[in-house]
Structure 1
C-alpha cells in the first residue's frame, strides 16, 4: 500500500515580477501543483540554480509550452503524491530534472525524469546533480561519444557544467582540459580534478591545447561560449574531432573555415535540453542509472558546491551567479 502524506493547498514559490535583474525574483503564494498521469509531486528539499534560470529571469528564455512559469530546472526531495502509473514511488527520495517549477516548496516531475537518492546522500547536493549531469552526459558522452583515453576541451571550467564534466571525465579516464578566467579559478579546477587548466585571459587556449596534446589536437570540445570561440575551438580539434555547442554566452553567430572541417573530417553538432520530450529525458535517466548512478551510491559522483541560499533569498542566489565568482553549483534550500 502506498504511503500517504498530508499535502497543503498552497505553497511558497519564487515568481518573476517582471523581466530584469535578481530583484525581479519575489516569493509569492501559489497553488500546490497536482501531478498528472505519469507524474509525481515532490516536496522540495532543495533546488539547483542554473544559467537558464537567469536567462528566464531576464525575459530571454521562456519556459516551453505547458511548463510552469516558476523558474528552476532541478530539485531533490521526497515524493509525496503521484498521478496514475507512478503511485508506487510515493515516499521515495529522488532528484529530478524539470522543465520548470523548481523554485518552490512543491514541484511536479515526470516519473521517468526522477533518479533515486541514496539515504546517506545529502539532498541539497542531490539537487545540484540533474541539470548538469543530463547536459554533460548527453552532449559529451552521447553527441561527442568520448571514450577512455580521449582528450576533451571544456570551457567554463569552474561552472556547474565545467565541474560536472571534470568529475565525469575523471570517473571514465578521459583527459580534460578546461579554460577559466583567472589563475585562482584555474587552481580550483585543477584541485577539483581537471587534467589541465588554461587562463584564457593570459594564455592562448588554442596554442595551449596544441602544446598539451603534442600537436595532435583533442577529440572533442564542449562549448558554451559560441561566437568567435567556435573557429578557435575547431583549431583545437584533431582529425575526426567533434565540436558540441550547448550555449551561446559569447555570441550566436560564428564564421568558420570550411576546408579545415573537410580536411580534418570534423563534426559540428549541438543541442538544448529543456525543450526535449519527456520520452527523451526519461531515456537519458535510464542510461544514467545504468552507467553512472552507481558512482552516486559510492560517493564518487558529487557536485562541486558553491553557496546555499534560503528559497526566499533566490534574488541573492542570482546576484551571486551574475557576479560570476562562484565555483560549482549554487543551491536554494527549502
Structure 2
C-alpha cells in the first residue's frame, strides 16, 4: 500500500497473430522482435506504435487494464492504466461547437425554404403547410451535438480495446451542485454508460473523488486554460479514474478519532500522449446560400460548396505529407482549389486550422481517412 511515483516507463501494445490484444511490452523488446523478424508494425487508427506477433505466443494471460474517461462539453480526457504503468493518455477535441453551428445554419435555411413555399396571401386553411408527422416537443433522442461527442468518445474507446486487453472501464459521472445546476456534459450520460457496458464492466465515480485520487497520485491539473492540448488538462483525470480500480479510500473509526487511508497499489508513469479530433469536413451542398454576384445572372448561378472528395485522388481526412519552401508539413486534406493555371490541395492540422495550400506534386499520401485526426 503505497503511493505512485512518476517513473519513465513506456509500454508498446502487442497484438497476437489472430488479432487479440496481449499485455504491452517494453520498447526495447519490441524493437528486438522487429529486428529478428518475429513481429511487424501493427497499423491502427489512433496512430500509436504497436506490433503484431508473427508466431503464436507462449501464453495469453493478461492483467487488469482499465480505461478512465473524463467527459466534458468541449474536451474529454482518457487514460489507460495497469497496476504497474500508465499505458496511454488521450486528449479529445470534441465536435460540439462545429455540430451546433451546422445545425443552426440548417435550421435557418429550412425556415427560409418554408417561408418561400407558403403563400401568406391565402387564407390559413388553404396554405401549403406540411402535415405534422410527430410531436417534436416530446423526444427521447440525444441532441446531435451531444451524440457526436459521445460517439467520438466511444470510437476512441473501441480503438483502444483493439490495442490493449481492457478489463474494466471507469466513467466520471457529472452531478451538478444544487437543484438548478446544469451542464451539457450531463446530457446522455446514461446512454453512454449503456454503450460502454457492452465493451467491458463499467463503474462510475464523481468528480471530487477523481480530484482526491489525482492529488494523491501527484498528477498536476491545469485549471487556468482547459483548452490546452496537454496532459495536465484532462488526460491526467482519465489516469486517476482508471487508477481508482486499483486503489480505494478506506475509512477507520475509533473511540476518540477518525481518519482514512488509500488501500491498494498503483504506479503512474510517463506514457504516450495523443490529441484526437474529428475532421471537420463539409458535406456536399448544391450551392452556396447566397448567389454569386460576379455572374451575369446572380439568381441563376451559385458556387459549388462542400464535398469530401477531390478530382486528384485525395479525400477529405486523408493524412498526407506536404512540402513548401524546403519545409515539410503533415496534416489532413480538407479541400481543393482548381483553376486554369493551378491545382492546389488544402492541408489542415488536428485543430482543423489550415496549414496552407500545396501543389499536387508536393503532396504524398501517408494514410487514408479513418475519420480520426491523431497528432
- If the TM-score is normalised by the length of the shorter chain, which range does it land in? under 0.3
Instruction: Point out the structure with max Rg over C-alpha.
Output: 2
TM-score (norm 1): 0.25
Larger helix proportion of the pair: 1
TM-score (norm 2): 0.23
